[in-house]
Chains A and B, each alone.
Chain A
Amino acid sequence: MSRIDEKTRRLFASMADILIPHAEGMPSASEVNVHGELLDHILGLRPDLRENFMRGISAGSERDPTEALNELNRSDPAALSAIGLVASAGYYMTPEVRRLIGYPGQESRPDPDPDAVPEYVANGMLQQVIDRGPIFRPTPK
């Protein structure tokens, strides 16, 4: 697989920052370096994205990134989708962004006491369901 050149990284960073800007207390895409090693990592894991991604990036080489992205949205949604996925996947994988949105990742949190009486039993919530009685139609005789 050919190496991603610096120009491609710069173009991707500029487009990614339109999609994921510094706003609402969150860093921009380039501030968490989605155009650095993350870009290589993601395209390495998902080579199927590469063709659409590179086509979309090349469409932005001679124009304003917002204009280029809007044009892709109209004429080449597959390319925009690839750029958006690479940018957002990298962005939400970074520890800083996960910390800011309160996401620990798909964490391991086993039930410490599986045999304990569940809260919905102890507080009577489920009893209301039981008290209403059966809701099925039995097998006809």
Chain B
Amino acid sequence: MSSKAPRPPEVAEFLIIGAGASGSIAAKHLSDRGFGVVCLEQGGRVDNSEFWGDKPEWELMSQKRWHPNPNVRDLEQDYPVDTSDSDVNPLMYNAVGGSTILYAAHWQRFMPSDFRVKTLDGVADDWPFTYEDLEPFYDQMDVEMGVSALNGDPAYPAGKAAPLPPLPIGKIGMKAAEGMNKLGWHWWPAPNAIPSKPYGGRNQCVRRGTCLTGCPERAKASFDHTHWPDALKNGAVLITGARVSEITVDEKGLANGARYIDRTGRERHQKAKAVIVCANGVGTPRLLLLSKSERFPNGLANSSGLVGKNLMMHPYAAVTGYFDEPLESWLGPAGQTIQSMEFYETDKSRGFVRGAKWQVMPSGGPLGMRAAYGGKPLEEAWGANLHRNTRKVFGRAFEWGIIAEDLPDETNRVVLDPNLKDSDGIPAPKIIYKNSENTKKMIDFHLERAREAMSAAGAIDISLTPLMRDCGWHLMGTCRMGNDPKRSVVDQYGRSHDVPNLYIYDGSVFVTSSGFKPTGTIAAVALRSVKHLIESKQLQEVAA
């Protein structure tokens, strides 16, 4: 247990597992309303001064200590993930604030069609609610996070303006936008959970462009800054370094707490009246599958057999353009300056359904650009060519990143690895994940369109990256929500169909993935769920 944490109650009213995006929202809003909250987080707290973005060593440290792949980072608080049967590596960060410590802070909404995929396109399933149902929660989260955006994007229904003006799009955004206008294609300044002005105790973004390795300016809206200060002030108890091994149940089959191992190696049990799991799309099914008992032999909340299945991770492709003019392409925001949904909606004449969202990203520093040269002949990658390549591309390139919607498929899944274990001896997850034919066709189509966009913008050279392996930022679908207990794990408010005082609020509950970074929707769905829980608290069944 963290030495500074107040002593937790013997029985928590609500026990939250995971202090990332959804766990932070649950902790703040429950404690705002006076409920007793204990949160178990396997990672620790991160101080913004630990980040290297404002130091010359930034790129060097980005490749290890602050790498988003836990298998590369290999910290004690990370659990290993077997990816030998996966096309994509899952990415995450384990700490207070969760993966928002290292996220790009795209603050995107799903589009209306994302919630009606079955009705509109005949694939996957509809969500149990609509865009309009979720809109007020999107609006509230924009305010809680301090989103910088320009209202009026024609890719969305008209709605409320974000609280802050958009971040600068820079020379790269202007260059890309010029190309899109030549083609008559959609673009819009991108919404980001990064304050363009001081907001909520956080500083104005200084465009350092290191969002994906932590914001040294304390500007980016990570949940350790946006929600935990209020939750702690309200009396929520946050226990860091707590690796949960099992959710326990009582004789009635109700969740009554969680067993965890602290950083001294001691096993503890935190009792609770209700449990909310917020451990991400890999960690949550792992924990439920670990929580087997006589009553729940296939894992907790798994009568449907769907815990761990339907993993969606958003295959990511990119087109990089090189220009014959300086574009200052190390300046932030790092995640996106402008976006396009020109080819987002389904057009079946393309040979696939659904689509992808694009965003313009800067190319970063000179060292990161060397990553593509591994395995090439020495004289091609190094020597005088190194200087020529640096002169050609450094500061003069940007990327159209393509987030492709992958549809749910039960064969893409998280299981418990029979051999691999974390540093506490708890079985690690194994990912089994392959891209579908629909996804492959979608990526091929979008790469060609993005190449055209780069040409229209005046690129003198273009390179394509068909699929990045280290791209599994978005972990979704492994405990899907729905109205039918046979075809879903939780109801539309994240409540388990099997265990009435067990809730799941993270991206595991997603029915489909959309083509957007999901954190904004994870947050809105979690907010909707926790507000419903608060309103209906008197009707809830709890452990004794």
CB-contact partner of A110 in B164, B205, B390, under 8 A: B205
Given A48-B64, A125-B181, A129-B154: A118 touches B169 (CB 8 Å cut-off): yes
Chain A 70-88 interface residues, beta-carbon cutoff 8 Å to B = 70, 73, 77, 81, 84-85, 88
> In the complex, which residues of chain A have a beta carbon less than 8 angstroms from the beta carbon of B54?
106, 108
- A18: CB under 8 A from chain B? yes
State whether A140 touches B116 (Cβ < 8 A).
Answer: yes
State whether A18 touches B154 (Cβ < 8 A).
Answer: no
Nearest neighbor of A42 in chain B, beta-carbon distance: B60
- A57: CB under 8 A from chain B? no
A99 to B113, CA, bound (A): 49
Mask: chain A, 110-141; 1 = CB below 8 Å from B; 0 = not: 11001100111000011011101111111110
State whether A18 touches B64 (Cβ < 8 A).
Answer: no
State whether A109 touches B207 (Cβ < 8 A).
Answer: yes
CB-contact partner of B168 in A46, A69, A92, A111, under 8 A: A111
Mask: chain B, 147-169; 1 = CB below 8 Å from A; 0 = not: 00010101111000000111111
- A4: CB under 8 A from chain B? no
State whether A20 touches B330 (Cβ < 8 A).
Answer: no
> In the complex, which residues of chain B have a beta carbon less than 8 angstroms from the beta carbon of A133?
154
A102 to B327, CA, bound (A): 11
Mask: chain B, 283-316; 1 = CB below 8 Å from A; 0 = not: 0000000000000000000000000000000000
- A107: CB under 8 A from chain B? yes
> In the complex, which residues of chain A have a beta carbon less than 8 angstroms from the beta carbon of B445?
none
CB-contact partner of A89 in B59, B116, B186, B374, under 8 A: B59
- B240: CB under 8 A from chain A? no
Q: How far apart are B220's CB and chain A's nearest CB, in angstroms?
A: 14
- B230: CB under 8 A from chain A? no
State whether B154 touches A135 (Cβ < 8 A).
Answer: yes
Q: How far apart are B331's CB and chain A's nearest CB, in angstroms?
A: 6
State whether A129 touches B188 (Cβ < 8 A).
Answer: yes
> In the complex, which residues of chain B have a beta carbon less than 8 angstroms from the beta carbon of A92?
59, 365-367
> In the complex, which residues of chain B have a beta carbon less than 8 angstroms from the beta carbon of A70?
378
Q: How large is the interface on A (under 10, 10 to 19, 20 to 34, 35 or more residues)?
A: 35 or more
Given A19-B386, A45-B60, A114-B204: A136 touches B157 (CB 8 Å cut-off): yes
Q: How far apart are A1's CB and chain B's nearest CB, in angstroms?
A: 16
Given A70-B378, A89-B59, A89-B60: A136 touches B383 (CB 8 Å cut-off): no
Q: How far apart are A25's CB and chain B's nearest CB, in angstroms?
A: 8
- B115: CB under 8 A from chain A? yes
Chain B 384-415 interface residues, beta-carbon cutoff 8 Å to A = 384, 386-388, 390-391, 394-395
Given A106-B208, A114-B165: A136 touches B156 (CB 8 Å cut-off): yes
CB-contact partner of A23 in B119, B166, B387, under 8 A: B387
- B463: CB under 8 A from chain A? no
State whether A130 touches B154 (Cβ < 8 A).
Answer: yes
Chain B 204-245 interface residues, beta-carbon cutoff 8 Å to A = 204-210, 217
> In the complex, which residues of chain A have a beta carbon less than 8 angstroms from the beta carbon of B365?
92, 103, 105-106
A5 to B180, CA, bound (A): 56
> In the complex, which residues of chain A have a beta carbon less than 8 angstroms from the beta carbon of B382?
18-20, 84
A26 to B391, CA, bound (A): 10
> In the complex, which residues of chain B have a beta carbon less than 8 angstroms from the beta carbon of A36?
none
A135 to B184, CA, bound (A): 12
> In the complex, which residues of chain A have a beta carbon less than 8 angstroms from the beta carbon of B154?
129-130, 132-136
> In the complex, which residues of chain A have a beta carbon less than 8 angstroms from the beta carbon of B386?
19-20, 88
State whether A110 touches B60 (Cβ < 8 A).
Answer: no
A117 to B366, CA, bound (A): 32
> In the complex, which residues of chain B have a beta carbon less than 8 angstroms from the beta carbon of A84?
370, 382
State whether B189 touches A46 (Cβ < 8 A).
Answer: no
State whether A114 touches B164 (Cβ < 8 A).
Answer: yes
Nearest neighbor of A19 in chain B, beta-carbon distance: B382
- B375: CB under 8 A from chain A? yes
State whether A24 touches B384 (Cβ < 8 A).
Answer: yes
Mask: chain B, 161-205; 1 = CB below 8 Å from A; 0 = not: 000111111000110011011001011110000001100000011
Chain A 18-41 interface residues, beta-carbon cutoff 8 Å to B = 18-21, 23-26
A23 to B391, CA, bound (A): 12
State whether A136 touches B113 (Cβ < 8 A).
Answer: yes
Nearest neighbor of B219 in chain A, beta-carbon distance: A110
> In the complex, which residues of chain A have a beta carbon less than 8 angstroms from the beta carbon of B112?
136-139
State whether A139 touches B204 (Cβ < 8 A).
Answer: no
Q: B59, B115, B387, B394 — which one has the most chain A CB atoms within 10 A of its CB?
A: B387
A138 to B345, CA, bound (A): 11
State whether B116 touches A46 (Cβ < 8 A).
Answer: no
Given A20-B382, A108-B54: A135 touches B342 (CB 8 Å cut-off): yes
Given A89-B367, A120-B177, A125-B178: A140 touches B119 (CB 8 Å cut-off): yes
Q: List 22 A-B contacts (CB under 8 A).
A: A19-B382, A46-B64, A48-B64, A84-B370, A89-B57, A89-B59, A92-B59, A106-B54, A107-B208, A108-B208, A109-B331, A120-B174, A128-B181, A129-B187, A132-B186, A134-B157, A135-B341, A136-B156, A136-B344, A137-B113, A139-B113, A140-B116
New A-B contacts (18) at CB < 8 Å, excluding given A114-B196, A125-B181, A130-B154: A20-B387, A23-B383, A24-B388, A66-B378, A88-B386, A101-B394, A102-B326, A103-B366, A105-B56, A106-B365, A107-B207, A110-B206, A110-B207, A114-B204, A118-B150, A126-B177, A129-B188, A135-B344
- Per CB-CB distance, the 9 closest pairs between chain A and chain B, nearest first, are A24-B387, A23-B384, A108-B206, A114-B196, A19-B382, A93-B56, A89-B60, A137-B113, A139-B112
